[in-house]
Amino acid sequence: MTERLAVESMLFYFRKKAVTILGVYEYDSSTGRAGNGLPASAAGGKAPMVNWDVVSDDWHNFQSNVRSTTDSIERKLQQHSG
């Protein structure tokens, strides 16, 4: 029962984070402040709540690091098994 509670808590945590991010993105998009290439004057001079260009760069860096790590692990496993 304890493991189940831990898993449910973890899933709830990640769902809460996802809903928060989606909500902020929706707000920025609906007010014209999302990273859409428009100048700040297009949204009344207000900056977005989140710098989506930085988020995008961080996400792509994270994906590259995960791929690199996965490839490295696969190579090591192949060396040990073959």
Q: Where are the domains of the chain?
A: 1-50, 52-82
User: For residues 16 and 6, is the Cβ–Cβ distance under 8 A?
Assistant: no
> What's the pLDDT at 39?
60
Per-residue confidence at 80, pLDDT binned at 50, 70, 90? confident
Residue 24's closest CA among 45, 55, 3, 2? 55
Q: Give the model confidence (pLDDT) of 29-75 as tens digits.
A: 777 776 656 665 666 667 677 777 778 888 899 999 999 999 999 99
The 8-class DSSP code of residue 44 comes to T
> What's the pLDDT at 53?
77
Q: Give the model confidence (pLDDT) of 6-29 as tens digits.
A: 999 999 999 999 999 889 888 877
Rounded CA separation 14/79 (Å): 36
Global confidence as pTM: 0.53
> What's the pLDDT at 82?
65
User: For residues 40 and 47, is the Cβ–Cβ distance under 8 A?
Assistant: yes
Rounded CA separation 8/35 (Å): 34
Beta-carbon count within 10 A of 81 CB: 6
